[in-house]
Structure 1
Amino acid sequence: MTATLIESEDRREYRATRRRGLLVDLSMTLATVLAALVIGFLVILATGKDPVRAYEALLTGPLERSFRVGRWLEDATTLTLLGLSVAIPFRARQISLGAESQLYAGALAAACVAIFLPLPPVAAVLVPLAAAALAGAGMGFVPGSMKARLGANEIVATLMLNAIVVRVYDYLVNGPLKEPGSSAVHSERVQPDSVLTPLTEWLGIPFGRANVGFPLMLLTAVALWLLLTRTPLGYRIRMTGSNPHFAEYGGIRVPRAIEWSFVIGGAVAGLAGAHLVQGVYGRLEPGLSGSLAFEGIVVALLARNNPLVVVVAGLFYSYLRAGGDIMEQQTDVGTEIVVVIQAVIVLLVTAQALPDLLKRRLARGQAAASRGPSGTSRGPSGTSQGKPGAAHGEAGAR
């Protein structure tokens, strides 16, 4: 009975620690955003322009018309999926810059299925999505395997793979997959049954190209959070990222965990490519992703690689992009100020000292509260309930 009580208390303490960690991650994300907005305001003021009018357009413009809201949700869907795709290998302490190659591979796979393969209505949507996820996972497996099995540098491997896949994509769109008889450079349109249903059809509000990819993105974020926090594979990925030597000592096959982190991240990036093909453009277009692939890295860092917080960061970041365009149209302040805000965010999220210090203080406060006058744990047996290895692993994994 005593052992059961101790285990139950440890479980409650562990869950409370995780909830506090999520709260800290979300608080630091919001604080970073607020600080960046304040600095941007001061920059506009220093240039002699009206920062109040500029920020009014920046912060309220995307909500003034329904099609602007749709543009925001459309952008947020792709950007959040890309943020999720890099957050997974980041949790394994792998610096993956391969979201671009994975997105383009997913777009190619989805387009080939959605254009050339006749399928019944429901399968016409799901099969291209599955093909995109598999193609993205394959592009993630290549650098993941090189790092895990051969010791290759994952930064170099992913960047070089980006260059290869993007060039192959350009060749195919300009050649074999180009729409016959068209002077423009793009592929044929996907079959009507393969198009992701626009939100306009569901809600009756003109949301432009925003589609069911948005709720699917939310489900993906929840699924990844559950994967990381509720499954053995997620535990192995987190422990590999926090302390690979401790993970090996505990029986975790670290190379396999690294490979899986790249594969899962690649699959999610492939879904982002499918969203662009099936929901946004309806075909393959040159420069499909723009700069979104690398901005997804900023979103993941801003969210401190927490899948649930990535959704918040992705929504904010895409809101800034949409608001910047409106600000440039309605005021004499260009979108460069948005670039300034984004740069400040990057600088702030790379300064890990403040969040880490806050987490350490919370951990010390919790440890002090759980100890009795003699300095030992207040558990039923009177013995210390601490788990140094596990605690260190969870602190580093967030």
Structure 2
Amino acid sequence: MPRLLLDITPLRESPAFRRLWIGSTMSMLGNQFTVVAISLEVFELTRSTFAVGMVGVAALVPLIISGLYGGSMGDAHNRRTLGLWTTFGLFAVTVALAAHSWAQISSLTVLYTLVALHSFAQGLNQPVRGAIVPRLVPMKQLPAANALYQLTMGSTLMVGPLLGALTVAGLGFQWAYTVDALTFMASLWAMYRLPSLPPDEVGPRAGFRSVVEGFRFLATRPNLRMTFLLDMAAMFFAMPRALFPVLGATVLGGDQFTVGLLTAALAAGSVLAGLLSGPLVRLHRHGKACAMAVAGWAVCIMAFGAVILLASGGWGRETVWPLAASCAVLVAAGAMDAISMLFRTTILQAATPDALRGRLQGIFIVVVAGGPRLGDAFMGTAGEFAGPGLAAVVGAVVCLVLVVVLVRKFPAFNRYDARDPQP
């Protein structure tokens, strides 16, 4: 049984990693209150899934710019100092979100602007965090450390949306944003307690040329490139998140709590994968496992769309069984996504030299965070015109076809071995 469960060795052996993990857990939990509150507030103002999807567009451009530049800064400066300042920037924007709600500013423009600022600060912060982890734990513990972060992400995604939706329904949007601001203080504390993390070697100055060097490195490393392409296929074409508000209000019945339940179902699968990640961290064929997990995600989202189509067509006003079936397939999808993320992250960290980790993490954050936002826009638009069920099925089919094409085009990815990481 111990070999089946999560490996917590990095928490026991690295106090700095332990503090960073605790701080990240608290801030991720609070952030889910904001994520749910924003989607529900936009839907309340507009009653449109298209408008909910446009939240992703508002966040995308700032994320791309700051994510790439933040990674460049992470390779040129002390990562502890940079992480502390960018974390404070995120905290300040979170406080602004709470202030706008307490002031009862019901403006879509203001909300989109704050989303863009939050995304800009996140883009600066996340590449630095990702580049810090390999400096805090030995290379052989990277899969276990990433599994711990997957458990954190899954747990907060499962609990946070439910609590966030309940908070919005019972207390209002302002309290959801305020909880996020309060929990973010733990992340500031963790960054402050980190040891000094100067670059291992003197690298190029942060800027456009430095970013281009990161892209050139990625262009010549097919295994690293595959991790990005697979994630883009899954998140752009098969991310159903933008459909949840309209499904909660129509096909699946209920209210804000239903939206939180659907979001939490995705996260529950991630939690299960994290808790039972013992066998996963001992696998060596990370490339093959990653591709299989993305294909599994596509199949699960296809099943989710089929359930919605059945509920829309033949189940009348019945919502209990469609909701239960939707949650079940979303749990399975969340597990597949967590497994994919575990191996993609580990491949990127292990196969990238430290001098380039910040820039590659910057590109990774742009794809990981930007992909779902583009996916929100794609799925929200498709759901508006084709209906949510058909949109989910078609998007999942496209994703699965792309996985098959990519694996055939880059067969070396299936042979990637963690014992000899080749980018």
TM-score greater than 0.5 by the shorter chain? no
For the pair shown, the structure with the greater C-alpha radius of gyration is: 1
**TM-score of the two chains, using structure 1 as the length reference:** 0.32
More helix by share: 2
